[in-house]
Amino acid sequence: MDFLIRKTQQILIWLEKHIKTDMTYLSKGLSASVISQVGSALGTFALALVVAHYLPKEIYGEYKYIISIGALLSTISLTGIGTAVAQSVARGYDGDLKKGFQMNLVWSAGFTLCAWILAGYYIVHNNTTLSLGMVSIGILTPFINSAGLYGSYLTGKKEFVLRAFWSDLAGNLLPSLFMLITVLITHNVIALVLIFCLANIGVDALFYIMTVKRIKPNEKTSPDMLSYAKHLSIMNIVSGISNNIDQVLLYHFVGPAQVAIYNFATAIPDQIKGPAKMLDDMIFVKFANRDIKSIKSTMNNKFFWIFLVSVVIVALYILCAPFIFRFLFPQYVSAVIYSQVFSLSILINALLPAQSFLSAHKKIREQYVVNILYAIFQIITIYLGIIYFGLWGVIVARVLSRYFYGFATYTYYRRLANTL
Q: pLDDT tens, 57-101?
A: 889 989 999 998 988 888 888 888 998 998 888 888 999 999 999
pLDDT at 142: 92
Q: Is the pLDDT of residue 38 over 70?
A: no
**246-280 tens-digit pLDDT:** 888 888 888 888 888 998 999 888 877 766 666 66
Mean pLDDT of the chain: 83
Q: Which residues, including other chains, have CB under 8 Å from residue 87's CB and lie 6 or more apart?
A: 156, 225, 228, 284, 288, 359, 360, 362
Contact between 159 and 96 (Cβ < 8 Å): no
pLDDT at 77: 87
DSSP codes, 263-308: HHHHHHHHHHTHHHHHHHHHHHHHHHTS-HHHHHHHHHHHHHHHHH
pLDDT at 11: 45
Q: Range with the lowest mean pLDDT among 7-21, 110-124, 204-218?
A: 7-21
The percent of residues in the chain predicted with pLDDT above 90, rounded, is 37
Number of domains in the chain: 1
Q: Which residue has the higher pLDDT, 154 or 26?
A: 154
Cα–Cα distance for residue pair 374/69, rounded to 1 Å: 20
Which pLDDT band, with edges at 50, 70 and 90, does 210 fall under?
very high
Look up residue 198 and give its amino acid: L
pTM of the predicted structure, to 2 decimals: 0.71
Q: How far is CA 4 from the centre of its chain?
A: 35
Q: Is the pLDDT of residue 382 over 80?
A: yes
Cα–Cα distance for residue pair 145/142, rounded to 1 Å: 5
Cα–Cα distance for residue pair 165/154, rounded to 1 Å: 11
What range does the domain containing 296 cover? 2-417
Three-class secondary structure of residue 262 per DSSP: helix
DSSP codes, 105-158: HHTTHHHHHHHHHHHHHHHHTT-HHHHHHHHHHHHHHHHHHHHTTHHHHHHHTT
Look up residue 55 and give its amino acid: L
The percent of residues in the chain predicted with pLDDT above 70, rounded, is 83
